[in-house]
Amino acid sequence: MKITLNKAIELLEESSAVIWGDNFLCYAGIRDESEENPDVFLVLENEVEGELYKVEFSKKDNQTVSVQGSSMFLINTDKEKEQISVLGPMTLDNPIW
């Protein structure tokens, strides 16, 4: 299934966190257009043992976004496909089980 970039941004903004890369957990860093590079809409960063891992995503490469289950697949600025699993809030006092 495919969704629009605007819908993907909306889902990322509403997420509690995302999992990306080699199981990196972080908040989705949605950028606004007034920042350094207005075409970059999302930056994901994680630091492991002093080493910074960072990936950026541009609007022009992600006008439509593939989704499957709780994951979306975006093209990063290096033109590589990244799987991003979106984590949402869950209410434990009203479980679904």
Question: Does residue 96 form part of some domain?
Answer: no
Question: Does residue 69 form part of some domain?
Answer: yes
Question: Does residue 94 form part of some domain?
Answer: no
Tokens, residue 16: 């509690």
Q: What is the predicted pLDDT for the residue at 92? A: 63
Residue 84 has pLDDT above 80, yes or no: yes
Whether 70 contacts 1, CB under 8 Å? no
CATH of the domain at 82: 2.30.29.190
Whether 82 contacts 73, CB under 8 Å? yes
Domain containing 76 equals 2-87
Question: Does residue 95 form part of some domain?
Answer: no
Q: Per the structure, how many domains does the chain have?
A: 1
Q: Which residues pair with 40 in a beta bridge?
A: 58
pLDDT tens-digit map of 17-67: 999 998 999 998 888 765 678 899 999 999 989 999 999 999 999 999 999
Q: What is the predicted pLDDT for the residue at 36? A: 76
Question: Does residue 81 form part of some domain?
Answer: yes
Question: Does residue 93 form part of some domain?
Answer: no
Q: What is the predicted pLDDT for the residue at 13? A: 93
